Homo-oligomer: A and B are copies of this chain.
Amino acid sequence: VARRSTIRDVAARAGVHPATASRALNPALAGRITEETSARVREAAQALGYTVDPTARSLRTRRSGFVGVVIPDLANPVLPPIVRGIEETLAAHGLAVLLADTDNSPEREATLVAQLEARRCEGLIVATATRDSPTVRRLAGGDLPTVLVTRDADGAGLPLVAGDDDAGVRAMAGHLLGLGHDRIAYLTGPPELSTTQTRLAAVHAALDGARGRGGLVVRHGEAFTAPVGRRLAAELLRDRRDVTAILAGNDMMAVGVYEALADAGLRCPQDVSVAGHNDMPLVDRIAPPLTTVAIPQREIGVHAARLLLERLGDDAPPPERRLLPTRLVVRGSTAVPNVHASAGNVHGAIPAGGPH
């Protein structure tokens, strides 16, 4: 096994001092070195197959070249495209991604963030935030550049990139009102998540004033999953058989709502309209195809990475909240209330709003 060649080997071969070789190989120092010397060094490096040892460089420069990405659960279909967007963007800037999956546990979040700090990450992109996460609060106070994605933390003042849920949910509410619904239920997740709060606030803003007051029922569940959606919908249908539309906090919950409707012998959309949020893969193929709000996942990742890159620079701009445009996607799960739909379902996509 041949020993890996070092900067000394390169220097020796080029007949210069290691420091000179180092400088010749550093693009930032171009111009401060003779082109001839530089060429000789590059040639030597090439011949020896030299690549810099990032560990040694890190030790010296105090820059690790790593960014930590903290996610709640990679199996959540919203996240992979976001992670991809982050990874691509950072890789283009020579930064590598250290992936940490907390499995939705605050304790694991604390541990993993501590480990990422110990590994001297240059920055963090955090998708795990609960509104009151102590770990995130600590990060907000510290000097490790941090950007939140998808989920916000109260009062932390950290930069955030997310879909414009407010506009998306308002567009969805408008769509339902336009169809003539006035007994609408909103099934959502735990209040600890900003996602829950933001979407719920938008629902209230859009529906509280509309038509006969009291037309909106809200139910919280402990997670954004199909089983929880099913349970909430079942309970709802027991109490309030008169609802004409059920808005789910996300697509998985909507799938659970489908089950509860089937259990109750109700048809979607003829008896009850259902809508989701996220537009995850295959929801356009389920029965009925789900009306939902699409969020620009990869773009969210790209923008989060860009925001972090900005903050890694010398003059970090003030924390920015960047909300990317969502899109209302109308499919077959929503229809005019109490009317037997017969013709083909409406398909289409309507912009729901831009950054604000």
Contact = CB atoms under 8 A, between A and B. Distances in A.
A130 interface: no
Given A101-B88, A287-B286, A55 B59 contact: yes
Contacts of A119: 54, 65, 96
A77 B282 CA distance: 11
A77 B75 CA distance: 8
User: How many copies of this chain are found per oligomer?
Assistant: 2
A121 B167 CA distance: 44
Interface in A106-129: 112, 114-115, 117-120
A175 interface: no
A63 to B, nearest CB: 10
Interface string A265-295: 0000000000000001111011100000000
B96 A115 contact: yes
Contact of A281 (B54, B77, B96, B143): B77
A25 to B, nearest CB: 13
Nearest to A83: B74
Interface string A115-157: 1011110000000000000000000000100000000000000
A54 B98 CA distance: 14
A51, A65, A73, A280 — most chain B CB neighbours (10 Å): A51
Given A286-B282, A287-B286, A80 B84 contact: no
Contacts of A80: 74-75, 77, 79-80
A53 B285 contact: no
Contacts of A47: none
Interface string A50-83: 0111111011000011000000011101011101
A341 interface: no
A261 interface: no
B52 A118 contact: yes
A29 B53 CA distance: 28
A165 interface: no
A120 B52 CA distance: 10
Contacts of A55: 55, 58-59, 64, 120
B54 A83 contact: no
26 contacts: A1-B143, A51-B114, A54-B120, A55-B120, A73-B84, A74-B81, A74-B84, A75-B80, A75-B81, A77-B77, A77-B80, A79-B80, A80-B80, A84-B101, A87-B99, A87-B101, A91-B100, A96-B100, A96-B115, A97-B98, A98-B98, A98-B99, A258-B285, A282-B285, A285-B286, A286-B287
Interface of A: 1, 51-56, 58-59, 64-65, 73-75, 77, 79-81, 83-84, 87-88, 91, 96-101, 103, 112, 114-115, 117-120, 143, 255, 258, 280-283, 285-287
Given A73-B84, A258-B285, 20 more contacts: A51-B118, A52-B118, A54-B118, A54-B119, A54-B120, A55-B58, A74-B81, A75-B81, A87-B99, A88-B101, A96-B98, A96-B100, A96-B119, A99-B99, A281-B281, A281-B282, A282-B283, A285-B286, A286-B286, A286-B287
